[in-house]
């Protein structure tokens, strides 16, 4: 399992508060000693010590009013990862292409030898902004399987075939036109919270089913041999009442059966290395198999109801 450390993310309340305090210290904020800087340093060092393959940085929460703030902050955080990450490459994570481009350029703005970074994320409708940078900067990327076009599939969400089609589109352009190796491409079919993964229409598969079946389809395609599949696993436990680490552990184990080989996670929990609890694996399995049939949906809902009742005790 390739692990991407998720801890330097502005949407995590304590981390976001420390980032905010740090930014308020002015021009010397990222060099002068302070409590918030020590906090960020500890996050970087601990993820490297826990064998993260990449250390992700996401600052999007700061750019809602002024995107340039996020661009400027990414420069500083890329430098911090380069300084304290013990050689672990950065994963520059943003929905803003300017942030991705700026972070990539800054990673290589050094005399030191650095390892290939990861860009998260590239979309089919933005890839021509990002992928041409390959000729000047060596990097791998995560292709996010979302589309600007409204889906024509049942339920209004993209079907497995449509998500797979987006992956093929990105792959063909990245390899055929821009010179990426398959192993430099990661696909993210998007984790949906289990707590609200209930289709609003009959005969419509659940989001977890679609995410995992898409991974299986990508990994079964001989033309895309060597690509990786990645998920932001922590999203699966949003709004659950308890046992979140256990559910994440079960989610990773189940997703690995479908071909998942990369995860954006809290690396301290060493997902993929510890056996999940059988009852939690059963819960995730029910969502993985929720193909639109009433029986499969009823089973998932029953297990979720029991899980919530037990977790609230």
Q: What is the pLDDT of residue 258?
A: 98
* Each residue's pLDDT tens digit, 235-280: 999 999 999 999 999 999 999 999 999 999 999 999 989 899 999 9
The answer to whether 40 and 9 are in contact (CB under 8 A) is: no
Q: What is the pLDDT of residue 43?
A: 98
Which ranges in the chain belong to alpha helices (H)? 13-23, 35-49, 67-84, 97-107, 127-130, 160-176, 207-219, 244-258, 278-288, 294-311
Q: Which of 266, 262, 253 has the alpha carbon at shortest distance from 50?
A: 266
DSSP-based three-state secondary structure for 181? coil
* Each residue's pLDDT tens digit, 178-203: 999 999 999 999 999 999 999 888 89
Rounded average pLDDT over 67-77: 96
Q: What is the pLDDT of residue 157?
A: 78
* Each residue's pLDDT tens digit, 130-144: 999 999 999 999 999
* Each residue's pLDDT tens digit, 285-303: 999 999 999 999 999 999 9
* Domains, the chain, ordered by start: 2-311 (3.20.20.20)
């Amino acid at each position: 399992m390739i692990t991407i450390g998720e801890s330097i993310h502005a949407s995590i309340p304590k981390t976001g508060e420390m980032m905010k305090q740090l930014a308020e210290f002015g021009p010397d904020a990222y060099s002068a000693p302070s409590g918030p800087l020590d906090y960020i340093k500890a996050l970087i060092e601990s993820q490297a010590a826990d064998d993260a393959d990449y250390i992700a940085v996401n600052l999007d929460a700061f750019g809602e009013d002024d995107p340039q703030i996020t661009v400027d902050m990414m420069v500083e955080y890329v430098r911090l990862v380069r300084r304290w990450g013990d050689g672990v490459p950065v994963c520059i994570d943003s929905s803003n292409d300017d942030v991705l481009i700026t972070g990539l350029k800054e990673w290589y703005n050094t005399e030191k030898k650095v390892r290939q970074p990861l860009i998260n994320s590239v979309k089919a409708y933005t890839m021509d902004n990002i992928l041409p940078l390959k000729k000047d900067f060596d990097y791998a990327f995560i292709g996010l399987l979302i589309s600007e076009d409204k889906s024509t599939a049942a339920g209004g969400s993209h079907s497995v075939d449509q998500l797979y089609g987006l992956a093929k589109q990105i792959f063909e352009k990245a390899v055929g036109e821009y010179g990426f190796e398959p192993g430099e491409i990661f696909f993210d079919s998007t984790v949906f919270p289990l707590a609200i993964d209930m289709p609003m229409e009959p005969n419509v598969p659940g989001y977890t089913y679609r995410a995992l079946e898409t991974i299986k389809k990508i990994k079964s395609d001989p033309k895309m041999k060597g690509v990786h599949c990645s998920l932001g696993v922590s999203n699966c436990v949003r709004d659950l009442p308890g046992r979140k680490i256990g559910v994440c552990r079960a989610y990773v184990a189940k997703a690995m059966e479908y071909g998942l080989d990369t995860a954006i996670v809290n690396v301290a929990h060493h997902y993929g290395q510890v056996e999940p609890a059988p009852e939690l694996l059963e819960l995730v399995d029910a969502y993985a198999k929720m193909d639109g049939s009433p029986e499969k949906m009823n089973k998932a809902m029953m297990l979720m109801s029991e899980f919530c009742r037990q977790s609230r005790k």
